[in-house]
Amino acid sequence: MITIKDLKKVKTYEDLEGLGIGGVYCDISYRGGGIGFYQEDVARYFEIANEHLPGKFGAYCNYLGGGLRGSINTSGFSDWVWEISKKTARLLEELQNACVRVYENIDKAEVEDDVMQGVARVNVKSAY
C-alpha cells in the first residue's frame, strides 16, 4: 500500500503510473481537461465501494470560454466518510493533490514547449 510520503513525492505522469493504482487517464489541453485514475481502479486499490468515487478520480480544469480556464481542482469523493477510514480518506486526499501537481507540471511543460517551438497559445488565460 502506498503512503502519504510516497504520494507527496509524485510530480510527473510517470510517478502517477509508478504508484500501481491502475491506468492513468490524461486529457490536458488549452481548454482544460483532467488527469488521474478511473473509479474502479481506485476503489479496488483502496478497497472501498465504487459509489464513493466519481468516474474519474484526480484533478481537472474547466474551460470557461472566451479564452479563460478555471482553476485546477480535485475531483473529490463521497461525503460518506464514515464508511471510509480516516487513513484511507487522507490517502485519497493526498492522491488528488498529487494529481493537481502533475497537472500543473504537464501544463507548465506544454507552455514552455510551445514557446520554445514558437507556437503562441493565444488568448488562453486562467480565470484565477
**Residue 52: which domain range?**
4-126
Q: Give the three-state DSSP class for 103.
A: helix
For 36-81, the pLDDT digits (tens) are: 999 999 999 999 999 999 999 999 999 998 888 899 999 999 866 5
Banded pLDDT at 114 (limits 50, 70, 90): very low
- Range with the lowest mean pLDDT among 27-36, 100-109, 114-123? 114-123
- 44 grid coordinates: 479496488
Q: What is the mean pLDDT of the chain?
A: 86
Domain count, the chain: 1
pLDDT tier at 31, thresholds 50, 70, 90: confident
Q: Which of 61, 91, 89, 88 is nearest to 74 (CA)?
A: 61
Does residue 111 register a pLDDT over 80? Answer: no
Smallest CA-to-CA distance from 28 within 79, 72, 84, 68 is with 72
Q: What b/e readout covers 1-34, taking b as 16+ CB neighbours within 10 angstroms?
A: ebeeebbeebeebebbeebebbebbbebebebbb
- pLDDT recorded at residue 124: 46
pLDDT in tens, 72-91: 999 999 866 568 899 999 99
